[in-house]
Copies of this chain bind each other. A is one copy, B any other.
Amino acid sequence: MENFRLQIPTDIRFGKDRLAELPEVLAPLGKRVLLTYGGGSIKKSGLYDKVTQILKDSGFEWVELAGIEPNPRIESVREGTKLIRENQLDVILAVGGGSVVDASKVMAAAVYYDGDAWDLVKDSSLIGQAVPIVDILTLAATGTEMNRNAVISNMATNEKLGTGGWELIPRASFLDPTLTFTVSKWQTAAGSADMMSHLFEQYFNRTQGVDVQDSIAEGLLKTIIKHAPVAIQEPENYIARANLLWSSTLALNGLVARGRNGGWTCHPIEHELSAYYDITHGIGLAILTPRWMKFCIDTDPTTHAKFATYARNVWGLTQGSDEELARQAVEKTYHFFRDQLEIPMILSEAGIESQELVREMSEKAVLHGNLGQNIFVTLDVDDVESIISASFEAMETF
């Protein structure tokens, strides 16, 4: 286990019917609010009306930034920063999924930065002070509600990059499972695949002696595997939604990451797919993940032991050699995504029909994701190309 620092001051308000607590949470941060949200689903669901009524009744003033995209764009970030400056706003209230929170984080930091907000995405060391953020989450997926990270897209340059800073950690997050009842099957599946991928990125790692962190990752994976199919079949099952929501938060708040070294793999590759084709992030991850697992097992026998541990502790598999268990676990993972989460497990069915940009995306992935060093299995451009290419065919062998 490596040395680490962990400090997560976010005030988590988990559960149903807690919006009445919003004024007491916001008030110490200021009276002038930037209300950020996405494409209007919060208007359809009635959440917008509830939140603005509470703001009004408690004497807050607010300005709105609507229309923040999935795979949030740098243009939205710039617009938010401008609104905060022009209206001298004190605090951001982000209402929506991870995209709304991520865009809010970077606009919060850009207020204190003289140059263009995109600089902060390309170089997180430029991020310092930030406007405080409170969020009301409506989608279980990214974990941004309890961490310092944000991912922003620049469609002009085909770039989707991660950044972060301590001051970006939300001050408070309202996590109400009932707000996720209306999340579609597709987005529930994508969110569940995203949180599983966050756990895989941290779990498949070379640092030794991290049993605390690994056992938490295994527990969260088992919880997601149990509850995601229930949430897809019964969208208003409170227990399933609550377990998914809390799993998504804990999967990426530092508990599983701290004490290890090493970078991520499938996320950087998927970011290129999203940057070029704007496909749903979690769907891209679900498709890439089993191909990446098989690639590791095929090319690097030193990975078999960890995949076998995953097979035993997450899937309850017991029979076979480490390599056999590893391959059974890949099959389980693939079939879970395909049959339980109902994800189309081929890129051509997920919005990427042509393979003509695969080489270019592979080059960018290696570059942006530093895939040539310090990850579970290092990858060169040919390796990434073979993983993406394999994602255009159904898997028959594992």
A212 touches B243 (CB 8 A): yes
- A254 CB to nearest chain B CB (Å): 9
Tell me which of B9, B11, B209, B238 contacts A5 (CB under 8 A): B11
User: A5 CA to B3 CA in the complex, in Å?
Assistant: 28
B1 touches A11 (CB 8 A): no
User: A31 CA to B242 CA in the complex, in Å?
Assistant: 45
User: A215 CA to B10 CA in the complex, in Å?
Assistant: 22
Chain A positions 27 through 60: 1 when the CB is less than 8 Å from some CB of chain B, otherwise 0: 0000000000000000000000000000000000
Quick check: is A82 within 8 A (CB to CB) of the other chain? Answer: no
A219 touches B215 (CB 8 A): yes
Quick check: is A13 within 8 A (CB to CB) of the other chain? Answer: yes
Tell me which residues across on chain B come within 8 A of A247, comparing CB atoms.
212
- A255 CB to nearest chain B CB (Å): 8
Tell me which of B211, B218, B246 contacts A212 (CB under 8 A): B246
A242 touches B1 (CB 8 A): yes
- A137 CB to nearest chain B CB (Å): 14
Nearest to A244 among chain B residues (CB) is: B212
Quick check: is A261 within 8 A (CB to CB) of the other chain? Answer: no
Tell me which residues across on chain B come within 8 A of A306, comparing CB atoms.
none
Known: A9-B7, A219-B218. Is A14-B239 also a contact (CB below 8 A)? no
Tell me which residues across on chain B come within 8 A of A218, comparing CB atoms.
215, 219
Quick check: is A208 within 8 A (CB to CB) of the other chain? Answer: yes
A246 touches B3 (CB 8 A): no
Tell me which residues across on chain B come within 8 A of A226, comparing CB atoms.
211
Quick check: is A222 within 8 A (CB to CB) of the other chain? Answer: yes
Tell me which of B2, B7, B222, B243 contacts A11 (CB under 8 A): B7
Tell me which of B9, B14, B17, B223 contacts A259 (CB under 8 A): B14
Nearest to A14 among chain B residues (CB) is: B4
Contact residues, A84-108 vs B (CB, 8 A): none
Known: A18-B3, A243-B1. Is A223-B227 also a contact (CB below 8 A)? no
Quick check: is A8 within 8 A (CB to CB) of the other chain? Answer: yes
Quick check: is A220 within 8 A (CB to CB) of the other chain? Answer: yes
User: A220 CA to B255 CA in the complex, in Å?
Assistant: 12
B8 touches A4 (CB 8 A): no
User: A246 CA to B210 CA in the complex, in Å?
Assistant: 10
Nearest to A226 among chain B residues (CB) is: B211
Known: A11-B7, A14-B6. Is A1-B246 also a contact (CB below 8 A)? yes
B5 touches A243 (CB 8 A): no
Tell me which of B14, B215, B239 contacts A220 (CB under 8 A): B215
Contact residues, A232-250 vs B (CB, 8 A): 238-239, 242-243, 246-247, 250
Name A residues whose Cβ lies closer than 8 Å to a Cβ of B: 1-18, 177, 208-209, 211-212, 214-216, 218-220, 222-223, 226-227, 238-239, 242-243, 246-247, 250, 255, 258-259
Contacts A/B (CB < 8 Å), 7 sampled: A1-B242, A3-B18, A4-B15, A7-B9, A7-B10, A14-B259, A212-B219
